[in-house]
Amino acid sequence: EVQLLETGGDLVQPGGSLRLSCTASGFTFSTYTMTWVRQAPGKGLEWVSTIRGGGIGTYSADSVKGRFTISRDNSKNTLYLQMNRLRAEDTAVYYCAREMAVAGAFDYWGQGNLVTVSS
Amino acid sequence: SYELTQPPSVAVSPGQTASFTCSGDNLGDKYACWYQQKPGQSPVLVIYQDTKRPSGIPERFSGSNSGNTATLTISGTQAMDEADYYCQAWDSSTVIFGGGTKLTVL
Mean pLDDT on A44-67: 94
- CB contact (8 A) between residue A107 and residue B99: no
- Residue B80, pLDDT above cutoff 90: yes
Look over chain B and give the mean of its residue pLDDT values, rounded to a whole number. Answer: 97
Q: How far, in Å, CA of B26 to CA of B63, rounded?
A: 16
- Between the CA of residue B104 and those of A8, A31, B9, B18, B80, what are the distances in Å? 34, 39, 8, 10, 10
| pLDDT digits 0-9 by tens, A17-54 | 999 999 999 999 999 999 999 999 999 999 999 999 88
Q: Which of A46, A103, A112 sits opposite B49 (nearest CB)?
A: A103
Identify which of B43, B94, B100 has the shortest CB distance to residue A109: B43
Q: What is the reported pLDDT for A56?
A: 83
Q: With bands split at pLDDT 50, 70 and 90, how would you rate the model's confidence at B13?
A: very high
| CB atoms inside a 10 Å sphere around CB B20 | 21
Query: Looking at residue B97, what is its pLDDT?
Result: 98
pLDDT band at residue A75 using 50, 70 and 90 as cut-offs: very high
| Residue B74 CA to its chain's centroid (Å) | 10
CA closest to A42 among chain B residues: B39
Cα–Cα distance between A61 and A75 in angstroms, integer?
A: 27
CB contacts < 8 A, A to B, total 63
Q: What is the pLDDT of residues B48-78, one digit of tens each?
A: 999 999 999 999 999 999 999 999 999 999 9
Over residues B3-12, the pLDDT tens digits come to: 999 999 999 9
Residues of B in contact with A50 (CB under 8 A): 93, 95
Assess whether pLDDT exceeds 90 at residue A102.
Answer: no
Q: Find the helix or strand (DSSP H, E) in which A9 lies.
A: none
Query: How many CA atoms lie within 13 Å of A20's alpha carbon, on the beta-carbon side?
Result: 33
pLDDT of residue A12: 97
The predicted model gives A103-110 an average pLDDT of 93
Q: In A, which residues are within 8 Å of B90 by CB distance?
A: 104
Residues of B within an 8 Å Cβ radius of A:
1, 31, 33, 35, 37, 42-45, 48-49, 52, 54, 84, 86, 88-90, 93-100
